Each structure stands twice: as C-alpha cells, then as structure tokens.
Amino acid sequence: MTEERPRFRRPWEQPEEGETPAGETKGDDPTPAARPVEAARSGEDPAEPASPDQEPDQDSPDVDLTDWERMASEPSDLDDLSEETYITATTEEYKGLAEEIARLRDAEFERQAVVATMPGVDTGLVGFEDVTGRRGITEEEVEAYEQARASDLTLRVVTAVGLVGLLVGSLYLGGWWFTSFLAIVMLLALGEFYATVRRVGYAPLAIVGLLGVIAMPILTHVSSVFAIAGVTVLATVLVVLVYSLANRRNPLENASITVFGMVWVGLLSFVVPFGRSEHPVAFVIMVGLVCAMVDIGSYFVGRGFGSRPLAPTLSPNKTVEGFIGGVVFGVMTAAVLSTLPPYEEVGFTGSLILGAVVSLVGPLGDLAESMVKRSLGVKDMGSVLPGHGGMLDRIDSFLFAVPAAYVLFLIRGLL
C-alpha cells in the first residue's frame, strides 16, 4: 500500500472539505500566521495583543506584535512538502501542453476577420481595414468597376468604328470630301490644344492659328504640300506683327505657342496627296493600320515583358521591350498587306521599308505629345471622342508618320 502524498495547495486555491488550511493547526486555535487574516475578516484589529496583561505600548515603534517563536515552533503543511510533491503539483495542469503546441504549429488555419468586443467601438468585427488602415473594396464596388470598364471598352470600340467609317467614307467619295474631313479633324485637334494651354495660363492668338490650320489642307489640295510652308510663314509674320503692335502679356511665349500648335497639327496635311493617288483608300488604310498595330504591339508586349523604361521622364509606362514589339507588329502588318492586290505597286520590299519607318517614327509623335502634356501638367488634351479623350490624343502618331510615309511614296513615284 502506497503512502498518500500530501496535497500542496496554492495560495489562491480554496481548501477542500475536511482539509485544514495552510498556516493553521488541526486544533481549535489558529496559528499566529492565520490570526491576522481571521481578525481582518471579523473586523477586529489584527495587531491586538494576545493577553491584556501584556499589552504593549501602541505608540512605540520598537514593539513587534508578531510572536515569531511560537510561529516557528508550531507545525505547518509546508513541513511535509517535498521536491517531488512540488514538481508533481505544478506540472499536472500542463500535462500534454508540448504535444498540443506542436499539433497547433503544424495545423493550417483559414485567415479571416477577428471578432472581438472592444470598448468604445460600435462593432466588434475587426476587418483588414482596421489592420492595414485602408478601406477594402466591397463586392458591389468590384462589380461596378467591371461594368464601368466593359462600358468604357464598348464606348471606345463604337467611337473608333465611327471615326474609321467617316475616314473611309470620305476617301471613297474622294476629292473635297476627304480634304474637308481632314480640315475638321485638324480644327478640333488645334482647338483642344489652345483650350488646354489657356487653362494653364497662356493666351495664344487662337484665331490666327485656327485659320492657318484650315488653310493648310485646302491649299495643299489645290496646289501641293509646299502650301504648308507658305501658310506657316504667313501666319508667323501675322502673329509677330500683332504681338508687336498690341500690348499683350508674355508676347514671346504666347506667340511661340500659337505657331507651334498650328505647325504641329498642320503636319496632318501631308495626307491630302494620298487622296489624289490611284489607290487613296488602300494607301491611307495601310499607314493607319501600321500605326494602329504599332500601338497594339507596344501595349501587349510592354505589359507582358516590359521592364526597361523607354523614356521615363516623358512617359514612364513605355518600355524598350514594348517599343521593339511595336516595330515587329508594324513590319509584319505591312508585310501581310503587301500580298493584297492594291499594294502590288508598293511591293514586298517597299512595304517592309514603309512598315519599319512608320513603326520607328510613329512612337516619336506619341512621345512628343507626352512631352507637351507633361509640360502643361495635363492628362488628356480634350474629351471630344467618348472613351478616347481628345482628337489630338488619337492623331499624335499620325502627325509624324504621315510625312514620313509621304516621302517614301513620293520616292517610289506613287503620289
């Protein structure tokens, strides 16, 4: 028969029935250590002396009211406490704790919001917004964003189809129809430019620039592309004369902006001779498709593989990989078009050269507009085309590509 070990009771545990509390004997009189506790419970003064005959002086600081000799001589539950008993009593509650910790460490838990009750907070749900400090996106907001993107894409497609339809229709009608269509496009583009620079504080002489950009395609249709230079010289002289005679603020800056915008948009007049060629629709569509495929190739290749910025100051989103991809797409498009009957006169080699030149020069027009917009601190030049922004934003590549294509076609004797 094994000897029952005495149970060690912690100070905060209540004694079981029939068990003598620590610090007391099994007799009627509690130990001196327990007397202060009982006295406190009964409301008596715990420092009251045991015998009235030996009442000490309460005012004397040297009097010790504790009977240390009696406390040391009387037995206590701690006398039977051994090291083995202490270890057993303190580790019994933590039995299997190490195994449970190891199991929880290897277990997988799903991340979710924490539900807790917090004073002063209306709800006890702690979400990712409370942790990150940023408001999360709800399912309704995600759905609304996707619907907006789909709607914007539809609007862009409809606008692009309508614009291309007007271009092709004017080419089929030919003559002044095509020239008038170009004059309207150029007028809208230059008007957007002048409105944008006015918003940032400049005051160009818009009437001279707008009249000049209308005269460029009309005089080119009547004579030749040399009319573009003649209109530029005449408009420059008129602008300088006005700013010299009139008292206008910042004459040099405003005069330069007036002439710059007119000449920049006026470069589109080089496409007027294409309308008088033997294959006006085919030649214009060829230049337009190559420019479009350059943009598409640059976007997808740059998005998927782009890492090195092409012009970080002007356009941080454009990459060298995207530029190379755009050139490849443009040359391949020109090569495929060369197999069609309307392009037999251009030939395979001529188509490759045209594709390479337009693919290299077209992005420069896009970078030129990025430079202007960054200097002015604007994102778009206008919003005349739903889903596309401004007219100038859509023809920026053509402003450099069309003069280069005109020179190539002129050398081949096709214009």
Predicted local distance difference test score (pLDDT) of residue 308? 87
For residue 319, give the 3-state DSSP assignment: strand
Beta-bridged to residue 136, according to DSSP, are: none
Predicted local distance difference test score (pLDDT) of residue 305? 87
Distance between CA 181 and CA 129 in Å, rounded? 54
Predicted local distance difference test score (pLDDT) of residue 106? 74
- This model's pTM is above 0.75: no
DSSP string, 346-373: THHHHHHHHHHHHHHHHHHHHHHHHHHH
Distance between CA 290 and CA 404 in Å, rounded? 13
Q: Over the range 345-361, which residues count as b (16 or more CB within 10 Å of their CB) and which as e?
A: bbeeebbbbbbebbbbb
Q: What is the mean pLDDT of each run of 10 residues along the chain (415 residues)?
A: 54 57 49 48 49 51 60 65 62 65 73 56 53 58 55 70 86 90 93 92 93 95 93 95 86 93 95 88 92 89 86 82 92 93 90 94 90 85 69 89 94 86
Amino acid at 406: Y
Whether 204 contacts 254, CB under 8 Å? yes
Predicted local distance difference test score (pLDDT) of residue 34? 47
Distance between CA 312 and CA 324 in Å, rounded? 16
Question: For the chain, first and last CA: distance in Å?
Answer: 121
Q: Over the range 57-78, which residues count as b (16 or more CB within 10 Å of their CB) and which as e?
A: eeeeeeeeeebeeeeeebeebe
Whether 262 contacts 190, CB under 8 Å? yes
Distance between CA 256 and CA 240 in Å, rounded? 9
Residue given tokens 């430019």 in the structure block:
193
Query: Tell me, what DSSP letter sits at residue 338?
Result: T
389: left (phi over 0), alpha (psi -120 to 50) or beta: left
Distance between CA 251 and CA 264 in Å, rounded? 20
